């Protein structure tokens, strides 16, 4: 993640990234404000291929809350796992109102992640968690700065050391310190990817200026690249039921302002040696209810449509917001 508290041009906007104390039981009671419209001053609901369904602005008395980098839903579409870039797990249950809109988060907990040496770390550094994926009985996490993909047991990940690590197929000299292993996804089991872990970097670029990426295992194991342009960087991604990859990209700097977009890449294009690109199906700016958008997941709702859940990273700044937004993917 391109961290605002490390960018000198934005330093005056931040309260800092100092580590906070953790409550003994890990509880994180969530205070929420419902968001009913996406575009400020408008009741417009449809934006490109997406339809806004509602959202939440999140706060917590637990000072560790903030810095969400990724989110994955359990099969029940309510329980979730998220990673914070301070090296913490954030878990909880999504609650809905009678109309089915996002209403709140219950049972939330924030617990320290443990590294392969059995140590938890305060601050970012060695435990700068950015990507998250669920596969069978494993929870996969990608880290930047200390570049790696660790595998935790599921259940039990909250109190466990990694049980394995996946080769990232990239030389560490190619990876930027804090713009590296950002998006971690699992390819569909029934596709040529056969349930492989797929990794896309934030802004670690090859000689042609495209983002480094890799299929970490499975029959198509190997490296590929994702076209990079328009000052947007990858922050997360999710494979859709039809096999396409939806990449969440965001822009967050003073020169160009805040922005986010979704790019849909044909799943069949993802293979070793490929340079992939796809259509931008959604864009948003400071005129909309967004912040530093970092995480995305997708699920099939009871009516058969595909819903997207996105979360933002507030960088632990009083001038930013932790958001959870829900959209319906049309078409």
- pLDDT band with cut points at 50, 70 and 90 for residue 7: very low
- pTM here? 0.92
How many CB atoms are located within 10 Å of the residue 192 CB?
16
pLDDT tens, residue by residue, 222-242: 999 999 999 999 999 999 999
Which pLDDT score, from 0 to 100, does residue 205 have? 97
Question: SS3 of 127, please?
Answer: helix
Cα–Cα distance measured from residue 186 to residue 201, given in angstroms and rounded to the nearest whole number: 15
In whole angstroms, give the CA distance from residue 284 to residue 261: 6
Q: What's the chain's average pLDDT?
A: 92
User: Distance between CA atoms of 44 and 25, rounded to whole angstroms?
Assistant: 42
Asked if 108 and 84 count as a contact pair (C-beta separation under 8 A), the reply is no
Q: What is the pLDDT of residues 17-76, one digit of tens each?
A: 444 444 657 999 999 999 999 999 999 999 999 999 999 999 999 999 999 999 999 999
The correct answer on CATH 1.25.40 for the domain covering 28-114+128-329 is no
- φ, ψ for residue 13 (rounded to 5)? -90, -10
**DSSP characters for 194-209?**
TT-EEEEEEEEE-TTS
């Amino acid at each position: 993640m391109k961290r605002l508290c490390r960018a000198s041009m934005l330093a005056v906007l931040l309260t800092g990234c100092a580590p906070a104390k953790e409550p003994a039981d890990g509880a994180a009671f969530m205070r929420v404000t419902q968001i009913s419209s996406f575009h400020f001053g408008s009741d417009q609901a449809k934006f490109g291929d997406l339809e806004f369904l509602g959202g939440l602005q999140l706060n917590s008395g637990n000072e560790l809350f903030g810095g969400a980098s990724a989110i994955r839903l359990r099969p029940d579409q309510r329980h979730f796992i998220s990673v914070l870039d301070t090296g913490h797990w954030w878990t909880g249950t999504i609650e809905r109102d009678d109309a089915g809109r996002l209403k709140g988060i219950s049972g939330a907990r924030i617990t320290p992640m443990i590294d392969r040496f059995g140590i938890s770390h305060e601050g970012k550094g060695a435990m700068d968690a950015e990507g998250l994926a669920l596969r069978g009985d494993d929870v996969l996490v990608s880290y930047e700065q200390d570049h790696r993909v660790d595998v935790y047991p599921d259940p039990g990940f909250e109190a466990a050391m990694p049980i394995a690590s996946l080769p990232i197929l990239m030389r560490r000299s190619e990876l930027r310190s804090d713009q590296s292993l950002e998006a971690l996804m699992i390819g569909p089991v029934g596709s040529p990817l056969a349930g492989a872990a797929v990794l896309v970097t934030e802004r670690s670029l090859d000689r042609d200026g495209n983002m480094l990426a890799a299929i970490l295992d499975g029959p198509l194991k190997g490296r590929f690249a994702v076209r990079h342009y328009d000052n947007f960087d990858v922050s997360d991604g999710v494979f859709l039921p039809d096999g396409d990859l939806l990449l969440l990209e965001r822009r967050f700097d003073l020169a160009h302002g805040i922005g986010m977009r979704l790019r849909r890449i044909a799943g069949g294009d993802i293979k070793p040696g490929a340079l992939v690109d796809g259509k931008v199906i959604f864009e948003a700016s400071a005129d909309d209810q967004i912040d530093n958008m970092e995480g995305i997941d997708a699920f099939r709702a009871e009516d058969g449509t595909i819903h997207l859940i996105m979360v933002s990273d507030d960088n632990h700044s009083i001038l930013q917001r932790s958001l959870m937004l829900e959209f319906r993917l049309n078409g």
